[in-house]
Structure 1
């Protein structure tokens, strides 16, 4: 990676677009990248590890983090709070590392205000029909949940133009090369 100074990269896009898969491939290829761990008030899912997948905190602790300005961004989603602890991000960027945040649209908009020098990338599906197919293939959601995700995706897709770059995740290897071309 040719980065000599730190850089903050914000990645967002609709649920099911393949952000996690794309980032896992990127991080495997560039292990020196710092992937920011978010804090959340939701309960851990089976197999999730505190401090690795998320920082699992109480609602009271999360509210205290908001009040103390310890979060770079935060949002409420599906009845739980999610946010990015500020200090680890700032510390890693200052240490000349590439830092990646994978966050929701609302959080990306907040980062645009609180850290305007961040590079913002929107990951889009090739089509809404393909996004629906991917969500259904995961087999994790009920019909009402799928409908909610698709309605939310339409809103998120309308905001894609707000981002510095857009990557259409039709072919994972092509999307990975696109991400590399932007951040490396």
Structure 2
């Protein structure tokens, strides 16, 4: 679902919680015939649905506003070049999707491989495009740690789009490594 160009996502978990509380309030009303269970329960259950919708819209609208800035400032890098010295810097990476997780929670994580290495790119809002394993994608985002204090480097994706062809590896990256010879004494 889109609102003003922002993709909104509701997790099935949120819907399950709302249904649980609606059933709970309805059962309480049927057991006691006290109308206050319905008068308070239905609006409170709906608030449990409105809060994730508002959060999804808020985060998604921030991504829409930030995307042009990140596209302008990002530097195209190979995944193997991403390291801890690049934390907080905008990057643009291309690769083939190897795994897609968390889509049903509206917090997708894509594992992408560009021929040099693989990296995880997470987004805190639903994807605008359907991405499957084997698709070529371009990700614009910021390099961050996987966890707040420790962990490996990943990309916090601001924009994800499918591309037809990947940018080929540079000559020095695609050339086989020279053979090392060791002299025996």
TM-score grouping bracket, smaller chain normalisation = under 0.3
Q: Which has the higher helix share?
A: 1
TM-score when normalising by structure 2: 0.23
Higher relative contact order (CA 8 A, sep 6+): 1
TM-score when normalising by structure 1: 0.23
Bigger Rg, structure 1 or 2: 2
